[in-house]
Amino acid sequence: MPVTIGGMASGLNTDDIIKKLIEVEARPIVQWEEEKYLYNKRKEALRELKSRIETVNAAARDLYGFRASYRDKKAVSADSGVLDAVAGKNAQNGKHSIEVMELASTHKLSTDSLKKDDAVPAGKFTLEVNGTSKTIRFRGGTLKSLQAQIESEAAGIVSSSYVNTVHDSHIMTLESLTPGKKGEIKITGDRDLLYGIGLIKGVKDQEKDRVAVVFDGKYFVSYTGSQKPGEETGALEVGKEGKDVEVKGSLWREYVLPVQVDVKKSTMLEFNASYKEPEESKEDETLPYRLELGPEEKTVIKGIELNSYNISRIRPLEKKPPKTPVTDVMGIGVVSEGKDGRYEKLYPVDRKFSGKMEIPVGRDFENRRIGKIIFYANTGTAKFADAALFTPVEGTGLLDPKNEVRRAGDAKIKVDGIEVVRDRNEGLNDIVKGLTLNLHRESKKPVTLSVEPDIEKAAESIKKFVEAYNRYLEFNREIVKAEKSAKPGEFKKSRAKTGLFMGDMTILRLENTLKETVSNAYPSRTEKPIKIISQMGVSTGEINAPWESIRMGKLVVDEAKLAETIRENPEGVEQFFGSDTDGDNRIDNGMAYGVETVLKPYVRSGQSIITSKIAMEDNNIKMADEKIERRQEHLKKYEEKLRQKFATMEKSLSGAKAQQNWLKNQMKGAEGSSDK
């Protein structure tokens, strides 16, 4: 389109004239824009209405059927730090006395402390937890690399960690992922690797071929071996039950076993030993001399003869020679007698030792037969007890952990005086009917667990429905009732806020139907029937409440009366909201059931009444956009047409002016010629 400069010939502001003419022509667009704005507001209102209706529907659905909570129970623990519980609907009201004696624990092991760069040999071993085993094939390396491999390959049964204990020292821990005794970590495999890192200390649960020694005084005989015990001044005393024997002073004795014992390389001699030092003679070493009386003497004093003793004669105290200290004060020995003669071996016991001792006699007597055991003491009192010869029997091959940080243990609780054992602490739903127990720590005394109706939960469900219902009524009132306008033109402005669906029968009918459904009476088969909602403390307003409030239909809750009704008549409340009237085990009546039935066409998925109305508004918006678009195309053409017309006019005026000027010039020229 060529650039035009209007008004050159006519002197008129043609651009302004064209603009005003276009504005007049564009007035329908303004009207359609206003309509489009109104359609969008209606669409927003419908979406909000849909949301509030869905909230009412969801709240009503929670008031009946399996979602209803009128018979729900709650468990209250007197000490929630010890235990808590969740009560189901079938839990019996009452109190339980529960004592947590032990908590279930997961098995946890650790290695010895190793330096960061200490070499760990290669090896193959298996970890087993609750029937699931993982085999680790380690190629050698460090403790950290072994831990990383276990963490990767045995992740399903144990967790592993690498802990810095002090400076450059570290340990590896293994913890079972299964609680209780069934979660015990069982170890088998190459012992060199496992001994090297300090994870095991030996073979676990190994059976023993054991021969216990029961002492009898008649089987003790004098020592006939090659050793020279010296002067025997002691005594031997056998315990009443034959479990122990005391050797007092200097004494060596052999005990003849009733049956000789065959010895293998792994045969061990075990016994308990203790030692008591001898009592020293008590002499007063502070007196170096001893007073002695001499022979009788006569003394004359002033002519008088007296008998007296020489009391001044003294002799030095005779000192005893010092005792030679005894180093090998006590011990035990083993004797084997066969075709090749007597073979014996003595095993001294340190005087400071006290406790159980095991001696590997199989290393000295392999393939021999032991017939006697030697018991000796050179001074003091040596006591030997619980003696036995045993040979380990190959068993399961399980290895005994060395550093057991935490044993695998089951939970032990006492419920109303009955002791119960479980392998876990959480989710114990098979002890008390309807209760799920969760244990947290051991208790010093029984904890009372009370089971009672969960009134608060049921009341909250009803109050949730009342709140959703009231919010729906408030919004519904806004969109169906317009505000009064005091001045002309204000109604048009206020309609975008209120009265968007004034006179809409679909929306008005929904409100009326819902109000009727909530306030209706419903049948009940219970002993204490609740037929209308006001019987449980929910009404449309208090006595003498404003008429406007009552007419609006908003519900008011008397919380005290509601709680009392739920506590005393939970079945009646349940039947009011949803009941089965024909015995087919399907709910077909009740206030909440009725509300959900009324709302179903409005909230169903897919095409519902509300979504259809939203689609209608979308269509109106689309039509308005199309009208505006067509009008805008028309305005473009209309502007071009106006500019062409004004351009033609300007051109005509410009030509007329040029002709006028030419005529004027011709007339002036003619006048000039006549004057000459």
List pLDDT tens digits, range 127-163. 999 999 999 999 999 999 999 999 999 999 999 999 9
Q: Tally Cβ neighbours within 10 Å of residue 189.
A: 19
**Amino acid occupying residue 516:** E
Question: What pLDDT does residue 215 have?
Answer: 92
- Tell me whether strands 235-238 and 244-248 are parallel, antiparallel or unpaired: antiparallel
- DSSP class of residue 234? -
Distance CA 284, CA 621 (A): 126
Residues 556-582 have a mean pLDDT of 91
Tell me the two tokens of residue 339.
């075709």
Is the CB of residue 361 less than 8 Å from the CB of residue 389?
Answer: yes
Q: Which domains does the chain have, with CATH numbers?
A: 14-32+613-675 (no CATH), 44-68+455-610 (no CATH), 73-104+410-453 (no CATH), 108-206+399-406 (no CATH), 208-280+327-393 (2.60.120.260)
Once rounded to an integer, what is the mean pLDDT over residues 456-478? Answer: 93
Q: How many residues does the chain have?
A: 676
pLDDT at residue 175 tops 70: yes
Per-residue tokens: 280: 């020293």
C-alpha gyration radius of the chain: 55
Q: What percent of the chain has pLDDT over 70?
A: 85
| pLDDT digit string, tens, across residues 184-231 | 999 998 888 998 999 988 776 555 678 889 999 899 999 998 887 778
Residue 597 has pLDDT above 80, yes or no: yes
Query: What's at 670, amino acid-wise?
Result: A
DSSP, res 67: G
pLDDT band for position 296 (cuts 50, 70, 90): low
Q: DSSP assignment, residue 497?
A: T
DSSP 157: T
Going by pLDDT thresholds of 50, 70 and 90, the confidence category of residue 490 is: low
- What's the mean per-residue pLDDT of the chain? 85
Cβ atoms of 635 and 25 within 8 Å: the answer is yes
Closest to 231 (Cα-Cα) out of 257, 256, 252, 212: 252
Indicate if the pLDDT at residue 493 is higher than 70. Answer: no
State residue 43 phi and psi, 5-degree precision.
-65, -45
pLDDT attached to residue 123 = 93
End-to-end CA distance of the chain: 53
The structure's pTM equals 0.55
The predicted pLDDT at position 285 comes to 46
